[in-house]
Chain A
Amino acid sequence: MSAATKFAWTPENEAEAQKHIAKYPEGKQQSAVMPLLDLAQRQNNGHVTIEIMEYIGKYLGMPAIRVQEVATFYTMYNHKPIGKHHVQVCGTTPCWLRGSDDIMAACKKHLGIEKGETTKDGMFTLGEVECAGGCVNAPQVSIGDDYFEDVTPETIVDILNKLAKGEKVTPGPQNGRQTSAPLGGPTTLADFKGKTAKSGGDA
C-alpha cells in the first residue's frame, strides 16, 4: 500500500475514538470496534478498506481478521467507494406493499444506474436495504444518515434533484405527516377539542 493512501485518524476523530474506547473497561477496548469502524468510514468518504481494518486492529490490539469479520458482517459498512449520497431504498415487506418497487424503479430511471452502482459524477450510490425500521411511514428511503418517509416516485425524484443541485432537503415524512402520527389528523377523542381543562380525569 502506498504512502499516499495511508490511513490515520484526524486529530478530531482520534479524540472521538478515545471517547468510544473509554466507554469500555480496561482490556476490553476491542468492544469499540464498531463505532471506530463507523468513524473511519466517515473519515474515508463512506467506505472502509483493508488498510483501515488493519489500522483499527492495531489501534485496538486485535487481529485484523477479527475486524474484518465485524466489518463484513454488518451491511452498513461499505467496502467499495460510494457516491456523496448513499441512497438506500427499503425493500422489506411493509415498504414493498406500499410500493417500494416503484420507488426503486424511479430511482434507477432517474439516476440511470442499477442497484449497487454509483453515478458517473460520483454523486449517488443506489442500494436496497432490508427493513430500516420506518415501516409506519412506508415506503422509506435512507439517504446518508437521513430518513425520507412516505415517499412517492415523484417526491423521491424531487429530493434527488435537489440533492444533485446542492439544495436543502427536509428529511422525514414527505406528505405532510407529523412524525408518525395518523395522516388525516386525530380521529379519536375529537370531542375533547377545546375542552381539555379536565382531560387528566377527575378521580
Chain B
Amino acid sequence: MPTLTINGTEVTVDAGKSVLQACEQAGVDVPRFCYHERLSIAGNCRMCLVEMERSPKPIASCAMPAGDGMVIHTDTELVKKSREGVMEFMLLNHPLDCPICDQGGECELQDQSVAFGSGDGRFSENKRAVEDKNMGPLVATTMTRCIHCMRCIRFSDEIAGVEIMGAIGRGDHTEVVTYLDGLLDTELSGNVIDLCPVGALTSKPYAFTARSWELKRHPSIDVMDAVGSNIEVDTRDGAVMRVLPRLHEDINEEWISDKTRFAYDGLKKRRLDRPYVRKAGKFEEATWGEAFAAIKTGLKGAKGNEIAALVGDTADMESMFALKGLMNSLGSQRIEARQDGAALDAKIRASYLMNTGIKGIEDADYLLLIGCNPRSEAVMVNARIRKGTVKNGLKVGRIGAVADLTYTVEDFGDDASLVKAAKGGRHEISKALKAASKPMIIVGQAALAREDGAAILKMAHDLADKYCISEGWNGFNILHTAASRVGALDLGLTTEEGIKGLLKSAKTGDVKAMFLLGADEFDSSTLADTFTVYMGTHGDEGVKHADVILPGVTYTEKAGTYINTEGRVQQAEKASVAPGDAREDWTILRALSDIVGETLPYNTLSELRIALNEAVPETATLDTLPEADWSDFGTDGDIAKTPIVPIGGNFYQTNPIARASDVMAECVSVREGATEEATGTNG
C-alpha cells in the first residue's frame, strides 16, 4: 500500500489507486471533467493536473497510479496556472451560452470556470460550431458545447454495453456521435445526461421547463420495475419536473433506466381526478359520498368470499395493507396480487426473493437465467450482471428465449424441461453449476406464469438446493417485474385459485364484487358482469368495466413503503400534489371501511405503519438485504416440454403511468419505425 504526501499530509491508499483518488482520500479536491469513478480512465481533459515533486511537468492525477513516496502539491502557483490554462483551452470553443443552456446551474464547466476561469479569453478567432446530433427522443444534443470528455462514449461501451457512440474526426474536427447519427439505443441512455459535465447532452423531455435552482428535491423509490431504484423526484409548484437517480450502491449505483427517468409525463396524463359512478352504462362524475354510497349498494348481496380484490403492480405496502384490512373486515380472504399468474408461494420468503441480492451478482461466477430477460424486466439487474461479466468474469447461461442482453450468454434452449435436466447432473448446465464456486440462478416470471409454474418452482428449488446453496451464499433468485409483488406476498395476498380462477369465478357469479387496486395488467372484460370498484390513477385497462372509480394517487404523490425483488424495504417521500379530488389510497380505503365494513383501526400514516410493522415484521427494518431462511417450496409435478414464452409487452409500456406517457410512446415508435403505434392501452 503506497504512502504519499499530499499538500504536506501523509496518506496511505490501496495499491492501484490513482493520485486523484489519493487526493480525494486526503480530502483534497481536484477538479476534473473526464474522470468518473465508475468509468475507465481516459485522461483527456487534463483538468486534474497536479504538481509532483521531481517531475518536470504537472501530472494528470487521474491517470497516474499512486506510488510510494510521491510528494504531491495541489495548491502551488504551477497547479493554479495549469488549471487556468486548461480551462482557457476548454472555453476556446465553448459557446458560453449558459443563459439558454439547460445545464446552467448544475454544470461542472460553469462551476469550475468560476473557480479557475480567467475573466477574459485571449482567443479572438471564430469559435467552431458543430452540428447537433439526433440521439432519439430522450437525449437532446447541443454538440457545440461538447468538451470531448468522452464520458458518454465510455458509459455506453462499458456500462450500457452498446458500442454505438464514438468520437470521429480529430483535433479541431472531433465530434462525438452515435454511429451514423442513429438512435442511442439502450434503455440506460438517460444516464449520459447526468454524466455529461456540460450542456452538450441534456434531457429532451425536460428541456426548458425548469431551472435546477427552482426545484424541490424529494428522495423517492421507483415503481416501474421491482428493483426499487433510488430516485430523486424534482418538483416545482407541486408538479414533477424530472426524475433523477439517487446513489444506492447495492441497488442502482448511480444509474436508472429510461423508463424510470422519463415516464413521469405519464403522471399528468389520463389521470382519474374525481370519483365516477357508472349509471346506465356511462360514467358520471360523482362526489366521494355518492361513490361510497354506490359501492355500498353494489356490495349488497355479496358476502364474504364473494367479494374479491386484485392488487396492481405499483401499489405501495400501505394501500395493500389497508385493502387487506378492508377485505378481511368484509369477511373475504380473496385477494390476489399475482396478476401474471406466477406460481409464487407466499409462505416461504426465500422462495420469492432475490436472495443473492443485486450486489451479490458481482460475487457470483456462474449465473443461470431461467425464463427471464433482465434487460427488459429489471434494467438495473441487467447492468449489474454485465458488470459481473466484465469485472469478475461472470459466465451466464440461459434457459429461455434468445435476446440480446449486452453480454455473452450461453443458450441452452428455451424448453422448460431443461430445468429438470440441469438438476439431473449430466447436462452441461449441471456441470457448469457444479464447477462454479458461487453459482446462482435467476428465475423469471415467464417461467412461473405457466400451467406447470409450481413444478418449475419446485425444480428450480431442487436445482438451487443441489448447486447454489453454501455457507453464506444463497444463489436462488426470483426476479419480479412488479414493484408491489414482494410486499404483496409478504402480506399473503394470494389465493389458491390464482387470478385465472378468480376471473373464472367472476364469470360464473361465484365472485359478485371485485375491488381493483390499480390492477391493469389483465383482461378486464371478464369482469363485465361483476360489480367492480377500480381504485387507481389512470384511465387504463382496469376502468373499462368498472362500476365505480375511486381516484388514487401515483407513487410520487404519496409517502409509501415498497419492498423490492431482493426483499429490501424502502420508503418514498411524498413529492408532488395529486390532481383534483384524488386521495392517497389508504385514506380512501380507511374512509370506505367506515361505510361498508368495520372501520380500519388507524387514522394516520404512522398508526398504519405501526400496524403494518406488527403484521409484517420485515417492514420494520429499512434498507437492509434480508437473509431469508432456506427451506422447501414449490409443488412436485411434470414440466411440459414446451418453450418458455417470454413476458409480452414492450419494455417502455409496462404500467399505466408508462402507457400514459407520450415520451415512452415515442421511445416505442422510434424503435418500431412505426408512426402511431402502441399509444393505446393494450401496451
B179, A65: Cβ atoms under 8 Å?
yes
Complex interface residues of chain B between 100 and 128 (CB less than 8 A to chain A): none
Residues of A within 8 A of B167 (CB): 69
Residues of B within 8 A of A68 (CB): 166, 168, 179
A50, B180: Cβ atoms under 8 Å?
yes
B170 at the interface (CB under 8 A from A): yes
B166, A65: Cβ atoms under 8 Å?
yes
B180, A69: Cβ atoms under 8 Å?
no
Residues of A within 8 A of B165 (CB): 65
A72, B179: Cβ atoms under 8 Å?
no
B670 at the interface (CB under 8 A from A): no
B170, A72: Cβ atoms under 8 Å?
yes
Q: List the B residue with the shortest CB-CB distance to A72.
A: B168
Q: Tell me which of B163, B170, B177, B178 contacts A73 (CB under 8 A).
A: B170
Minimum CB–CB distance for B651 against chain A, Å: 23
B164, A65: Cβ atoms under 8 Å?
yes
Residues of A within 8 A of B179 (CB): 63-65, 68
Residues of B within 8 A of A63 (CB): 163-164, 179
B166, A66: Cβ atoms under 8 Å?
yes
Minimum CB–CB distance for B148 against chain A, Å: 13
B169 at the interface (CB under 8 A from A): yes
Query: Please, what's the 1-or-0 string for A65-85, where 1 marks a CB less than 8 Å from any CB in chain B?
Result: 110110011000000000000
Q: How many angstroms from the CA of A66 to the CA of B179 in the assembled complex?
A: 9
Minimum CB–CB distance for B328 against chain A, Å: 57
Residues of A within 8 A of B180 (CB): 50
Q: How many angstroms from the CA of A50 to the CA of B178 in the assembled complex?
A: 14
A72, B169: Cβ atoms under 8 Å?
yes
Complex interface residues of chain B between 149 and 183 (CB less than 8 A to chain A): 163-170, 177-180
Minimum CB–CB distance for B264 against chain A, Å: 31
Residues of A within 8 A of B166 (CB): 65-66, 68-69
Residues of A within 8 A of B164 (CB): 63, 65
Minimum CB–CB distance for A67 against chain B, Å: 9
Q: How many angstroms from the CA of A119 to the CA of B95 in the assembled complex?
A: 39
Contact-size category for B: 10 to 19
Q: List the A residue with the shortest CB-CB distance to B173.
A: A72
Q: How many angstroms from the CA of A50 to the CA of B181 in the assembled complex?
A: 13
Minimum CB–CB distance for A49 against chain B, Å: 12
Q: Tell me which of A64, A65, A66, A73 contacts B169 (CB under 8 A).
A: A73
Q: List the A residue with the shortest CB-CB distance to B164.
A: A65
Complex interface residues of chain B between 223 and 252 (CB less than 8 A to chain A): none
Q: Tell me which of B163, B170, B177, B178 contacts A66 (CB under 8 A).
A: B163
Query: Please, what's the 1-or-0 string for A171-190, where 1 marks a CB less than 8 Å from any CB in chain B?
Result: 00000000000000000000
Complex interface residues of chain A between 6 and 38 (CB less than 8 A to chain B): none
Q: How many angstroms from the CA of A63 to the CA of B169 in the assembled complex?
A: 17
Minimum CB–CB distance for B426 against chain A, Å: 32
Minimum CB–CB distance for B186 against chain A, Å: 13
A69, B168: Cβ atoms under 8 Å?
yes
Which one of A64, A65, A66 has the highest number of Cβ atoms from chain B below 10 Å of its Cβ? A65
Residues of A within 8 A of B177 (CB): 65
Residues of A within 8 A of B170 (CB): 72-73
Residues of B within 8 A of A50 (CB): 180
Residues of A within 8 A of B178 (CB): 65
Complex interface residues of chain A between 43 and 70 (CB less than 8 A to chain B): 50, 63-66, 68-69
Q: How many angstroms from the CA of A66 to the CA of B167 in the assembled complex?
A: 9
Q: How many angstroms from the CA of A73 to the CA of B173 in the assembled complex?
A: 9
Minimum CB–CB distance for B207 against chain A, Å: 26
Minimum CB–CB distance for B155 against chain A, Å: 14
Minimum CB–CB distance for A130 against chain B, Å: 10
Minimum CB–CB distance for B568 against chain A, Å: 36
Q: How many angstroms from the CA of A68 to the CA of B167 in the assembled complex?
A: 9
Minimum CB–CB distance for A168 against chain B, Å: 36
Q: List the A residue with the shortest CB-CB distance to B182.
A: A65
Q: List the A residue with the shortest CB-CB distance to B180.
A: A50
Minimum CB–CB distance for A115 against chain B, Å: 16
Q: How many angstroms from the CA of A65 to the CA of B178 in the assembled complex?
A: 8
Q: How many angstroms from the CA of A72 to the CA of B163 in the assembled complex?
A: 17
Q: List the A residue with the shortest CB-CB distance to B170.
A: A73
Q: How many angstroms from the CA of A69 to the CA of B169 in the assembled complex?
A: 7
Q: How many angstroms from the CA of A50 to the CA of B179 in the assembled complex?
A: 10
Q: How many angstroms from the CA of A167 to the CA of B169 in the assembled complex?
A: 37
Residues of A within 8 A of B168 (CB): 68-69, 72-73
Query: Please, what's the 1-or-0 string for B595-624, where 1 marks a CB less than 8 Å from any CB in chain A?
Result: 000000000000000000000000000000
Q: How many angstroms from the CA of A50 to the CA of B169 in the assembled complex?
A: 14
Minimum CB–CB distance for B99 against chain A, Å: 33
Query: Please, what's the 1-or-0 string for B259-275, where 1 marks a CB less than 8 Å from any CB in chain A?
Result: 00000000000000000
Complex interface residues of chain A between 85 and 142 (CB less than 8 A to chain B): none
Q: How many angstroms from the CA of A145 to the CA of B166 in the assembled complex?
A: 30
Minimum CB–CB distance for A129 against chain B, Å: 14
Query: Please, what's the 1-or-0 string for B171-204, where 1 marks a CB less than 8 Å from any CB in chain A?
Result: 0000001111000000000000000000000000
Q: How many angstroms from the CA of A66 to the CA of B168 in the assembled complex?
A: 9
Query: Please, what's the 1-or-0 string for B122-151, where 1 marks a CB less than 8 Å from any CB in chain A?
Result: 000000000000000000000000000000
Q: How many angstroms from the CA of A72 to the CA of B179 in the assembled complex?
A: 13
Q: How many angstroms from the CA of A6 to the CA of B163 in the assembled complex?
A: 24
Q: List the A residue with the shortest CB-CB distance to B166.
A: A65
Minimum CB–CB distance for B430 against chain A, Å: 29
Q: How many angstroms from the CA of A63 to the CA of B177 in the assembled complex?
A: 14
Minimum CB–CB distance for A75 against chain B, Å: 8
Minimum CB–CB distance for B161 against chain A, Å: 11
Minimum CB–CB distance for B636 against chain A, Å: 46
Minimum CB–CB distance for A173 against chain B, Å: 31
Residues of B within 8 A of A72 (CB): 168-170
Q: List the A residue with the shortest CB-CB distance to B177.
A: A65
Which one of B163, B164, B166, B169 has the highest number of Cβ atoms from chain A below 10 Å of its Cβ? B166
Query: Please, what's the 1-or-0 string for B353-367, where 1 marks a CB less than 8 Å from any CB in chain A?
Result: 000000000000000
Q: How many angstroms from the CA of A69 to the CA of B177 in the assembled complex?
A: 10
Residues of B within 8 A of A66 (CB): 163, 166
Residues of B within 8 A of A64 (CB): 179
Q: How many angstroms from the CA of A65 to the CA of B180 in the assembled complex?
A: 8
Complex interface residues of chain B between 280 and 324 (CB less than 8 A to chain A): none
Residues of A within 8 A of B169 (CB): 72-73
Q: List the A residue with the shortest CB-CB distance to B162.
A: A63
Q: How many angstroms from the CA of A64 to the CA of B178 in the assembled complex?
A: 11
Q: How many angstroms from the CA of A63 to the CA of B178 in the assembled complex?
A: 12
Q: How many angstroms from the CA of A73 to the CA of B169 in the assembled complex?
A: 5
Minimum CB–CB distance for B73 against chain A, Å: 35
Minimum CB–CB distance for A196 against chain B, Å: 47
Q: How many angstroms from the CA of A50 to the CA of B180 in the assembled complex?
A: 9
Q: How many angstroms from the CA of A150 to the CA of B180 in the assembled complex?
A: 42
Complex interface residues of chain B between 10 and 45 (CB less than 8 A to chain A): none
Q: How many angstroms from the CA of A72 to the CA of B165 in the assembled complex?
A: 14
Minimum CB–CB distance for B393 against chain A, Å: 15
Minimum CB–CB distance for A68 against chain B, Å: 6
Q: List the B residue with the shortest CB-CB distance to A75.
A: B170
A–B pairs, 14, beta carbons within 8 Å = A63-B163, A63-B179, A64-B179, A65-B165, A65-B177, A65-B178, A68-B166, A68-B168, A68-B179, A69-B167, A69-B168, A72-B170, A73-B168, A73-B169
On A, residues with C-beta under 8 Å from B are: 50, 63-66, 68-69, 72-73
18 further A-B pairs in the complex, CB-CB below 8 A; given A63-B179, A65-B166, A73-B169: A50-B180, A63-B163, A63-B164, A65-B163, A65-B165, A65-B177, A65-B178, A65-B179, A66-B163, A66-B166, A68-B168, A69-B166, A69-B167, A69-B168, A72-B168, A72-B169, A73-B168, A73-B170
The 8 A-B residue pairs with the shortest CB-CB distance in the complex, in nearest-first order: A63-B163, A65-B166, A72-B168, A65-B179, A73-B170, A69-B166, A72-B169, A68-B168
